[in-house]
Amino acid sequence: MIETIENGMELAQVRGILNRLIERVNELDSVSGSYDDLENRPAINGVTLTSETTFDDFTIPASRIDDYGTFKAEIRALAEETAAGAAAASVRTKLDGNFNTLQPREYELSGSMLVVIGDDKGNAYKTTLGDLIDYLKHEVLKLNDQYLRVIK
């Protein structure tokens, strides 16, 4: 980790910090960007995934395939589990797990801002913040499958 520059530091300290930063930036030029050059690539049943990995690289006993649907579901579940684990490991190294250290975000809210509301069926609806606030000022009661809005 590169330390930060503080007021009152000696010029030699500042120069050292800047030189370490320049070295780190120059190291980025040596990164190839190729998936095959990454370290700690995910593996499935001991087969490390590369850009050349094919389905034939995986040994799957025919006795395990009772039906194609079950087989497909097992492969999908394994792939999702592996991807989720790789993503979680990557995020743990990128973000501070303590969100209390994050700076608060201030918003300038207005009634004309658009908001999206989802229901339990997966539908999404857009409205304005002003309309949502007006709606929330009312209590909604359900009696015998009828909805009543009571203004407070």
Q: Which run of H or of E encompasses 77?
A: helix 68-94
Question: Rounded distance, CA 22 to CA 53, Å?
Answer: 37
- For 14-26, write each residue's pLDDT tens digit: 888 888 888 887 8
Higher pLDDT, 88 or 82: 82
Please give the residue that has the higher pLDDT: either 149 or 128: 128
Q: What value does the mean pLDDT take over residues 62-80?
A: 76
What H or E segment, with its residue span, contains residue 147? strand 146-151
- Using pLDDT thresholds of 50, 70 and 90, give the confidence band for residue 49: confident
pLDDT value for 97: 59
Contacts of 75 (CB under 8 A, 6+ apart): none
* Mean pLDDT of all residues belonging to the chain: 77
Residue holding tokens 């593996």? 43
Chain segment 86-109, per-residue pLDDT in tens:
877 776 666 555 666 767 777 777
Q: Which residues contact 151 (CB under 8 A, 6 or more apart)?
A: 137, 138
31 vs 50, more confident: 50
